Chains A and B, each alone.
Chain A
Amino acid sequence: MLGEGILKGLAETAKNFAGSFVSAERMTTVQYPEERIAPVEAARVFPFLVYDGADWEAGMRCVACQICEKECPPKCIYIEKSKDKKPDALGKPQFYPAKFDIDVSVCMSCQICVEVCPFEAIKMDNEFELATDDRFGGLLQDRKQLAKSNEYYHTIHPTEAAEVDARLAAEKTKAAADAAAKAARPPAQAATPAPAQKPAGGGE
């Protein structure tokens, strides 16, 4: 019969229309911004810099090695290395970023900076409402705006953050053991360079 196919299709639509009133599965949309779906754990939007402790400037893990700046595909990271050094989490004096800017309008959320960072210093945020009314300065985030605490990292990516913490703790105990071994050795041998100078993570 001519028109049978059309009627079958219309019946399908009617079924879906009626179903959307009774079955939650048929009602697939969410009324943003009143209703929100929580971002998934793997969600990645824009990078931030992790710091330990309470003071963002003292606890910043970044040592301004500039690997992320070099590897960033759209080249949206700008780093200036400091002249002096400050002690890092292991107590070793390290450079720190005097300037660390990321341009929101250029970043393409690819996560390559996170993958190449050997110091677990840069991670991905899941905050996606980054709109601003200032399209120049407002879109360029400096190191103070980028700095977020390790606790915050734990709230957005709990599994990943726990793994990172375990890795860093293992390195810390290893470094402490190395230092103890070095101190225990006679002073004549202590002059030889210690082998455990590789950066954490072994990303290179």
Chain B
Amino acid sequence: MSALESSSAIKTEKLEGWNRPPVIEPDGEGELMEVAMGPHHPSTHGVFRMDLALDGERVIRLKPVFGYLHRNHEKLGEGQSYLASMPFTDRLDYICSLTNNWAYALAVEKLIGQAVPERAEYLRVILGELTRVQNHASSIGFLIQEMGASGTPLMYAFREREKILDLFEGLTGSRMMCNYMRFGGCRVDASAAWLDAVRKVVAGLPGFVDEFERFLTSNEILMARCQGVGILRPELAVNAGVTGPMLRASGVNYDIRKVDHYGIYDRFKFRVPLGDHWDVYDRYMIRILEMRESIGIVEQALKDIPGGPVMDQKAKIRGLRPKPGEAYGRIEAPKGELGFYLQSDGSPNPYRYRVRPPSLINLTILEDMCLGQNVADVVLIFGSVDIVLGEVDR
């Protein structure tokens, strides 16, 4: 299905015409039908509308309409202190609040030149990778749900996600809105009992992925529905700025953990799975393989997590006044490149606060993947992008 660590050479012979969306001509019989799919369509993971023009079952045009969940996140960030934005980042991609915290903390740390203690870095890696596991599990569950398997695979995913959320609650006090990372470390230290609980859960995770794969990977219905559907060519993916599992399923070897060397990812051994069919099934498979790699990273991190403080002694939490300047912190969030751009003018509030959300940018190529496909496949392709509307609209 997907070659591990294959070369990232983009097949250039397929280049001609990639930048023009393929024009699908109606067959001339009957009229086009315009359908507004959403904003209350159950498959849209929130409130999102697709304006479709259909010729029978085929999609001729697709226009995504965003903005129903706009909450003014960036402007709010400019109106309050650096610390006060931290709990709001939880609410961007509410499935993975800890990676949002991490990206924002990284941006502020770059802005003020703050170091992070060793133990805090390890805790960040453990929490970030657990977040990736639970995000991928639930996103596969949602994808299969959109295929029509109402509930069963999603319940398997949520059973496992529940165990990880319990860990988050034990450490941070909240299951989803963790608000855990701070500029210069983490808010509270993890007890030995909590680390043992993580070891217990992580020991059970490979079994869960095996079960999930026995359950789904060779299922004929899943293969018939997913294979060859929603092909995203690597040239288009790169040009559209698509990142994360979407890009890697298109065969492009780009993982910010590998290319940006943020945190302490250089110390861990893990592989980057790549797809070679560029379709929905590859995106499903990439997520399964990434879960396995993430479990490996957590195991390595748990083995050599050092003692010591989780917060830099000189770190200032309240009343932060960075020198005028700018910083961009980015991480490999479960959905793709999540970046925070901050510009300071020396005042307690950022002058400019910008989020680069993976969900929004991965969604912009929805039309290119859907043209010429059936309506039922549009739902599937949309599900395979793995978005959270809180992050798309902000």
Interface residues of A (CB under 8 A from B): 2-6, 8-9, 12-13, 16, 28, 40, 42-44, 67, 71-73, 108-112, 115-116, 124, 203-204
Contacts and interface: CB of A to CB of B under 8 A. Distances in A.
B179 A71 contact: no
Contacts of B80: 73
Given A73-B84, A116-B318, A5 B220 contact: yes
Contact of A110 (B87, B159, B211, B217): B87
Interface residues of B, number: 37
A13 B152 contact: yes
A9 B156 CA distance: 12
A12 B173 contact: no
B172 interface: yes
B214 A44 contact: no
Contacts of A4: 218, 220
Contacts of A6: 219-221
Interface in B220-243: 220-223
A42 B169 CA distance: 7
A42 B85 contact: no
A10 B162 CA distance: 23
B84 A5 contact: no
A44 B174 contact: yes
B61 interface: no
Given A42-B188, A71-B318, A110-B87, A9 B174 contact: no
A44 B218 contact: no
* Nearest 7 pairs of A and B residues by beta carbon: A110-B87, A5-B218, A42-B173, A44-B173, A73-B84, A5-B219, A12-B215
Contacts of B179: 110-112
B221 A28 contact: no
A203 B318 CA distance: 8
Contacts of B379: none
B319 interface: yes
B215 to A, nearest CB: 5
B187 interface: yes
A42 B152 contact: no
A67 B215 CA distance: 54
Interface in B142-159: 152, 156, 159
A110 B171 CA distance: 14
B100 to A, nearest CB: 13
A12 B219 contact: no
Contact of A73 (B87, B187, B216, B318): B87
A203 B211 CA distance: 49
Contacts of A116: 83, 317-318
14 contacts: A4-B220, A8-B214, A8-B219, A9-B214, A12-B211, A42-B170, A44-B173, A71-B318, A73-B80, A108-B87, A108-B177, A110-B86, A112-B179, A204-B319
